[in-house]
Structure 1
Amino acid sequence: MWLKFGVAPDGQLVCVEDVGSGKTKLKCPYCYGELTAKKGRVKQHRFALEF
């Protein structure tokens, strides 16, 4: 299962389809870590944690 939603600074949930590829200002809804949008051509679009 891929992470498809992030939390915006105003508290709204944002879908990965609504952002550009790369670093975002969104946070993980579970651990509040920073998210990077992964939007390639092979795998499903998703968020990854930024370490």
Structure 2
Amino acid sequence: MTEYILMEELKNVKKIDYIIAHHTKDEHSCYIREFLENYRDAMGCVRGEG
């Protein structure tokens, strides 16, 4: 459900430069793929352990 809220909030955002995730566990990163499909120019950064 959270991913739909996020994408709805971003529907008018044309460009995002960076995506930063604290770690790659599902609660922080499970929607990064969908996000990158919508913002192909965004650069990702993951800090910490997977």
Q: TM (normalized to structure 2)?
A: 0.23
Task: Please say which structure displays the higher CA radius of gyration.
Answer: 2
Q: TM (normalized to structure 1)?
A: 0.23
Higher RCO (C-alpha 8 Å, min separation 6): 2
